[in-house]
Structure 1
Amino acid sequence: MLMRLKIILLVFVLGAFTCFSQELVQDKTASKITFTIKNFGFNVPGNFNQFIASSNFSASNLKGSFLNVKIGVSSIFTDSEARDKHLLEVDYFNIKKYPNIVFESIAIEKITSAKYLLKGFITIKGIKKRVETILNVTTSKSTVTILTDFSLNRRDFGVGGSSFLLSKEVNIKMKYVGNKN
């Protein structure tokens, strides 16, 4: 009887731990990465149509929480086929050598019950830089939604050369929706 109780308790504990540590599954239709940059003084919007995010978020276990993103640069879309093609060339993203942009989180820290500080590294064109951004997080029984926006200096990553017509700052927004298993 005692042995059976131990086995039941072990199954319960391991089951709870497994559920607690499961990764979220990206909702690819609801998740989006967009950006804007000034070109000739006008805001040019764009987005990346293909990216994979792996994540786990638990407000009660931030040490076990993470958000990692891999963006397929070839999926860039700015509503101009000629511009999109040019952005893939050596002076911009150099897709033949660097097909992906990668973000790797190293920590998530609580600010308020719905705001968190995400710390990590972003790698663009082989150049790795530390970034921090605020996450706005909402959770439901079945999903976790994470919103963030931040700016990067494109010149820090050798994107676009020293063009004076193109702003140095790129504003990036991400909406990530992860489904709980």
Structure 2
Amino acid sequence: MKHSKSFSLLEILFCLIILGIFGVGALYSITNLKRQDVSIQKFLLKNSSLYETELFINKMLSYAKADSIKIGNNTLSWQGYDKLFLSAKNNDKFMDFSLQTSSFNISLQHNNLYFNNTLLLHNVKVFDINIKDFNTDRILEYTLCTHICIQDFIFLENIEIEFDKL
């Protein structure tokens, strides 16, 4: 029997069928990924301002003096450090030991959330704030709802140490 070094028609047909099966599977996967990407983008466009607001609140409360936090009717106010870090050469950061504070507040008015009287988020249905005490620890819990709800907890650490006067 004589064999040639070239591929036979049957072998080429077999390879094309295998490539076709893999190609259809890959196209199906790519289509599903595109569909999933579109749904994720819709979700993020619809909810990004809520999540950004949560991150902003957490950042601002991380600079708060724990003993200055006051909770009112749909309001949260505190004294926060203005500049904890000072810029220096080569983008290094140094602590600012002056520890100057400013007043900050977040309030819910007419279904809008305001930070220092500036609109932060609209169509807010719920802004609920509580402080829970566990032994010597304090935890601030807040719930923020538009058409979905986010609940977050912030550990309040009081770093001030009072010394007895001699």
Instruction: Give TM class, smaller chain.
Output: under 0.3
Query: Is the radius of gyration larger for structure 1 or structure 2?
Result: 2
Q: TM-score, normalized by length of structure 1?
A: 0.25
The answer to which structure, 1 or 2, has the higher relative contact order (CA under 8 A, 6+ apart) is 1
- The structure where strand makes up a greater share of residues is 1
Q: TM-score, normalized by length of structure 2?
A: 0.26
